[in-house]
Amino acid sequence: MRTFTIISIAALACAFALLIAGCAHRQTSPTPEELKALEKEITDLQEQNQQLQENIEKMREQIRQYKVAVQELQDELSSRGEEGRPAQTPLDATVTEVKRDNERATVTLNKGTKAGFKVGAKLFAWNSAEGFKGTLTVTDVTDDSSTARIESEEEGKEIKAGDTATIQNF
């Protein structure tokens, strides 16, 4: 993205230089219309640059979140016993429903307090075909079900009903 912006700005600078050179060749200054068009193009490129900078910052935040998730997984792997089994049995649930609106997305899980689920628990959503799909945080628990907020989703891997949600550290 940054390369695109730099190329766009460089192209604009070249166009401006050619305009000035053309004007010098014809011994005139750029017309007000030409200057106005260039100013608008500069403003548009500055707005695009701002949007790209915001996208970069969002991506950096996603990377930070992924690093935390990777560290949690690495910690879990390092705590496995000699036989390669988890030191604690993971809690698995199945996603039974997904609700999405403009501001948030939640899932309903088929397990609750009877199975050891608690508010605030962090889960990893996955399935055997696509692997890791995202992270969840439990926000509400009943005896037999839980509601969790979708915290993140891997690009192109939308969390769906039928996926598995696993708590490794509880």
Q: Tell me: the pLDDT tens digits for 15-58?
A: 666 656 555 555 677 788 888 988 999 999 999 999 999 999 99
- Residue among 111, 116, 124, 106 nearest 167 (CA): 124
DSSP state of 115: G
Retrieve residue 35's tokens. 């200057």
The tokens for 131 are 């692997």
Q: What is the pLDDT of residue 82?
A: 45
**Residue 99: is its pLDDT beyond 50?**
yes
Residues 6 or more apart in contact with residue 30 via CB below 8 angstroms: 19, 20, 23, 38
The encoded tokens of residue 169 equal 């550290």
Lookup result for tokens 């899932």: 107
Higher pLDDT, 87 or 136: 136
